[in-house]
Structure 1
Amino acid sequence: MALDILVLYGSYRRSRLGIRLADYLIRSFEGLGHKAELVDAKAVGLPMLDLRYSDYPAGEAPPAMAHLAERLSAADAFVFVAGEYNRGMQPGLKNLVDHYLKEFDRRPAAIASYSMGRFAGVNSHADWTVTLSAMGMAVMPERLSVGQIGQVLDEQARPQGEGGAALDRGFAGFADTLIWWAQAAKARR
């Protein structure tokens, strides 16, 4: 059963190396026969949170917000590409997520973290796990963490060297867990 997987990414920085991981994930899930689509917080362009999507009267939400609500509601699973900022959450991604609630409910979520250094963004996992769980998502125990992202993935998001080989190996279990849960949840919806 083919799945509809949204890959959410939230960096607003100029260098945006994490987009390489998002692109890698999209290509890898597509290689397994699933539909995978990027949701780039910077491209969506939502304002800092004032009103959530559900706070607007029907038909009055900004068009970009309404379109994303439809995509989130239709998706079978979510992958959060999480950079680490001061040992916590990436603010752009958090702001995007906070505009929605029921659109995420009862779907599996996986966390793929990254950093330019060796710690691979792992300090953001605990914060994201709590937040995504509170929003009604089933957060997968399997994580994908990529340190030294600029060396592991080239500019076309192709794995390089030992780090790239480790990423490919790690993706297999990460994807298997998310796909299993997404298929189970889809069968119940």
Structure 2
Amino acid sequence: MAKPTLQIIVGSTRPGRVGKPVADWFHEHAAKHAGFEAELIDLAEVNLPLLDEPRHPRFAEYEHEHTKAWSRRISAGDAYVFVVPEYNHGYNAATKNAIDYLNHEWTDKPVGFVSYGGIAAGTRAVEMLIQVVSVLGMIPMPIQVNIPLIAERMTADHRFTANEVLDNSAVAMLDQLARWTHRLGSSR
């Protein structure tokens, strides 16, 4: 039986971002996890324009090819992890835009969060995201990976360095996502 697909979505598109190195670290954990086939999706590469569909996404009557491609890609996922920064006590616009393009594609699927920022570790961004994904029928995981003082975890050559606590949090969240993906798979 095929493993479910976990899509890890890099939310930041900002030049010089740390989201990609953080996502690469998390993707390594996910690739080793027995519960998933892991796919890394970088919103900077997806490059969605600001929501430009004339009809509400709940109708799934997409006009633009970039939306149709995004729909196909996200529909192939069984679970998601958003890797998000905290900007001004919230999450970033590229993540919101990517979520808002779709509706049914997200429904009844578990979602986890890897957040990063200053002393608050991106937790305020995740709190806002939980409200949004819940309205879409996604199931947010209670276990999160929250990375405080992200600048201190970056090397001079722009690589992310985790510690044992972060590595353990990543595995715990992946375990929880795997359980929920299995439970929800039969309901979809």
Q: Normalised by the size of structure 1, how large is the TM-score?
A: 0.87
Asked if the contact 1:18–1:149 (Cα under 8 Å) also holds between the matched residues in 2, the reply is no
| C-alpha distance after superposition, 1:110-141 (max 9, x if no partner) | 111111x2221111121100000001101111
Supply the distance in 1 between the matched residues of 2:70 and 2:48 (Cα, whole angstroms): 10
Gaps of 5+ in 2: none
Amino acid paired to 1:97 = I
| C-alpha distance after superposition, 1:46-69 (max 9, x if no partner) | 1111315566746x422x322221
Amino acid paired to 1:186 = G
**Does the C-alpha gap of structure 1 residues 149 and 187 become closer, same or farther in structure 2, counting only changes over 3 Å?**
same
- Partner SS for 2:184: helix
CA RMSD of aligned residues (A): 2.1
Gaps of 5+ in 1: none
For these two proteins, the number of residue pairs brought into alignment is: 183
Supply the distance in 2 between the matched residues of 1:137 and 1:70 (Cα, whole angstroms): 17
Q: CA deviation at 1:146?
A: 0.8
Indicate the residue corresponding to 1:80 in structure 2. 82
**Does the C-alpha gap of structure 1 residues 19 and 131 become closer, same or farther in structure 2, counting only changes over 3 Å?**
same
**Does the C-alpha gap of structure 1 residues 21 and 131 become closer, same or farther in structure 2, counting only changes over 3 Å?**
same
Q: CA deviation at 1:148?
A: 2.5
4+ residue runs over 3 A deviation: 52-58, 153-160
Indicate the residue corresponding to 1:61 in structure 2. 64
Q: Does 1:188 align with 2:187?
A: yes
Supply the distance in 1 between the matched residues of 2:57 and 2:68 (Cα, whole angstroms): 7
Asked if the contact 1:113–1:124 (Cα under 8 Å) also holds between the matched residues in 2, the reply is yes
Q: Does 1:138 align with 2:143?
A: no
| C-alpha distance after superposition, 1:88-108 (max 9, x if no partner) | 111111111110111101100
Q: Normalised by the size of structure 2, how large is the TM-score?
A: 0.87
Supply the distance in 2 between the matched residues of 1:49 and 1:150 (Cα, whole angstroms): 31
